[in-house]
Amino acid sequence: MLCPKSKLPLNGAIPNFVPNFERRTDACAVWGDVGTFLPWNLFESTGSVSELETNYPMMRDWVEWIRRQDEAPTHAHPHLFDFGFSFGDWLALDGPTPSSFKGRTDETYIATCHYFQSAKLVWEAAGILKGHAKTDEARQIYAKEEKKYQALAEEIKSAIQDEYFTPAGRLAVDTQTGLALALAFDLAPEKEVCKKQMKACLKQDLYAMKAGFAGAPLLCTALAKSGLVEEAYDLLFREAYPSWLYEVNLGATTIWERWNSVLPDGTINPAGMNSLNHYAYGSVMEFVYGYAGGLLPLAPGWKRARIAPCPDIRFGKKVTCSYDAAAGTYACSWEIQEDGELVVTVSVPFGCTAEVMLPDGKGTTIETESGTHTYRCQPARDIRQVFTWDTKLSRALEDDRAMAILAAKVPPLAGMAHDPEMGANTFREIAGMGYLPIDPKALKETVEELGTLRNSGTQKEEEMTR
């Protein structure tokens, strides 16, 4: 079959930009994987089996385009996507220079992770369509393809683990993007090892975003999904470059192509590649709705949802979030009371159900029918508390009260707070640094006094509605 307006065959390749009638061979990982990711996301959002059925051939053909090259006699590394052009981790900040086009995350690893995920989505799509097939012939075809792509996905995953993970479970691609892909796509053979490695990587990077187009869209959600919500919030609330709030503070109303497409003095970055309305980094809102607002789907079309807000005092004392899903409008608000109690109010649309998970540290889960419901709980710790032993020293720079306490009780630590490397340590980690000129008793008294500080949230109160 030929592409209309072109003499080139429709071979399953999805070009790097569309419409594209003349350069259909310009296809590569991540960019081309929109052919599987987008139809699957649409299915999860709408629940439309007919749309999934319409797009299934494109999903399958994209994976087949990769597989044909993978299984070519000249390909030396089975199931590793190490052929053809790759954008890699485009515009990441861990490349040879901060303005390099590509970051340092291994390009074959990035491509192969997406090869796996695309094969997995085709496998899952075939299973869905098998269950809705209208004829026995169609059911048999989907059943056969379900097994085929399940086997392919499992083989790719094994190849990734054999090539990139040590026997102990450490990932050789020790970057934010590398670890985010492992966590987001469930590729790590030892998830706890991967989580620990991610925390160490973020600390090494001084809790600054280094990921590019392949990693940044997944990073905060992957962290939160793995239980590292605090680390995700650290990235979200960061105001220094590179960060989302760096852009906001410079007046941005859309997301830029580079983290610093606009420089602090208001001029355009001379390095080029400076679209001021680019998708990739704006995807952080998936994390905001899913974890700050607590709204996550549990069934296609949002017929069932999980409502599990993760409060943080940096939002202020109240957050309200709503989402117009295909099944109706879901809403969740949480408010910190004067005594530290948390009030959570949820709305579930007609004909839908939800599991409400309260952040009380006990795993309390309530099965909820349609309607508006209010719950009260006492969080595991006082959310009003700004500082604990596990708070990073750099947070003190944002609070004049905290800096005054440090200056009075442990003056050396007040000075160290200005050093980015030292500021990346928590008070608990600092307590273990016996070589520092800090009296342990004075540090303990300092953290106890910092723990009495409360933030009412009146100046930072945010309301998120959609």
Query: Which pLDDT score is estimated for 8?
Result: 53
Number of domains in the chain: 3
Domain boundary (329, 350, 377) is at: 377
Query: Which pLDDT score is estimated for 465?
Result: 38
Whether residue 79 sits in one domain with residue 44? yes
Query: Which pLDDT score is estimated for 24?
Result: 60
Residue 445 lies in a domain: yes
Separation between Cα atoms, residue 105 and residue 114, nearest integer Å: 14
Residue 289 lies in a domain: no
Whether residue 399 sits in one domain with residue 337? no
What string of pLDDT tens digits covers the 466 residues of the chain?
444 444 556 789 998 888 776 666 689 999 999 999 999 999 999 999 999 999 999 999 999 999 999 999 999 999 999 999 999 999 999 999 988 999 999 999 999 999 999 999 999 999 999 999 999 999 999 999 999 999 999 999 999 999 999 999 999 999 999 999 999 999 999 999 999 999 999 999 999 999 999 999 999 999 999 999 999 999 999 999 999 999 999 999 999 999 999 999 999 999 988 999 998 888 899 999 999 999 999 999 999 999 999 999 999 999 999 999 999 999 999 999 999 999 999 999 999 999 999 999 899 999 999 999 999 999 988 999 999 999 999 999 999 999 999 999 999 999 999 999 999 999 999 999 999 999 999 999 999 999 999 874 333 344 433 3
Whether residue 174 sits in one domain with residue 246? yes
Whether residue 171 sits in one domain with residue 104? yes
Whether residue 413 sits in one domain with residue 308? no
Residue 71 lies in a domain: yes
Q: What is the pTM of this model?
A: 0.93
Whether residue 262 sits in one domain with residue 329? no
Residue 426 lies in a domain: yes
Whether residue 432 sits in one domain with residue 403? yes
Residue 20 lies in a domain: no
Query: Which pLDDT score is estimated for 46?
Result: 97
Whether residue 247 sits in one domain with residue 327? no
Whether residue 373 sits in one domain with residue 405? no
Whether residue 216 sits in one domain with residue 92? yes
Q: For the domain that residue 357 is a member of, what is the CATH number?
A: 2.60.420.10
Quote the domain boundaries for residue 346. Answer: 294-377
